[in-house]
Amino acid sequence: MPKIVDWEARRDEILAATWRVIAREGIARATIREIAREAGCSRGILAHYFDDKADILGSALVLAHRRVGARMDAAATGLAGLAALRVVMLEALPLDDQRDLEAQIEISFWARALGDPSLRELQHSEFERLWARLRRHLEQAAAAGELAAGLDLDFATHRLVALIDGLSAERVLYPGRVPAGRQVAMLDALLDGFSR
């Protein structure tokens, strides 16, 4: 009797292996061979799940973002406005080992996307998804009267994204300079500024 394989679960295992390789070796050295070795399969098996290396890398990025998004949704359940925005932002910041890994993956993709138009387009669409989520929470906060009069919501959204990206890059490059408590303090100071 042939072995039944859960296609989605196996694909996710390969992508998790890809994350580990990227975190350990860097994206430039995340070869098909190294990913297959980490996933405990052959390069031929990878070809059943992905078209090429770009497909693996893009899929790894999207899956990482979807998992962060699911955590954001769960954390924000029952909340609205600034309270929801704060917990969503906490899920995006590299505050623990899992989120450190996600930051490493994200930062690694930036360099790769510069030279790969398809990855750059994917990165842009993922950026727009995050932007829309953060902007939506700011709109809720504005509707609830939580924000300072005249606050430019696009500019505020941009500041939130810059905080995520800046702290993620700094955490990857200089982990000791931005411990979790400092990141949370920076977020809270930014949110306090929105509500004045």
pLDDT one-digit tens code per residue, 5-49: 687 888 999 999 998 898 888 888 889 999 999 999 999 989 989
C-alpha dist (Å) from residue 43 to 34, 65, 170: 9, 25, 34
Instruction: Please name the amino acid found at residue 75.
Output: A
Axis crossing angle, helix 117-143 with helix 97-114, rounded to the nearest 10: 130
What are the sequence ranges of the domains in the chain? Answer: 54-195
The CA distance from 186 to 163, in Å, is: 8
- Whether the Cβ atoms of residue 70 and residue 62 lie closer than 8 Å to each other: no
* pLDDT for the residue 142: 97
**Fold type of domain 54-195:** Tetracycline Repressor; domain 2 (1.10.357)
Identify the weakest region by mean pLDDT among 81-85, 106-110, 135-139, 148-152.
106-110
Q: Taking Cα atoms as reference points, which of 80, 102, 82, 105 lies closest to residue 91?
A: 102
* pLDDT for the residue 196: 65
The CA distance from 38 to 43, in Å, is: 11
Share of the chain above pLDDT 90, in %: 65
* pLDDT for the residue 138: 98
pLDDT one-digit tens code per residue, 140-186: 999 999 999 999 999 999 999 999 999 999 999 998 999 999 999 99
Identify the weakest region by mean pLDDT among 50-54, 93-97, 135-139.
50-54
CA 171 from centre of chain: 14
pLDDT of 2 over the 70 cut? no
pTM: predicted TM-score of the whole model, two decimal places:
0.86
* pLDDT for the residue 4: 62
pLDDT of 1 over the 60 cut? no
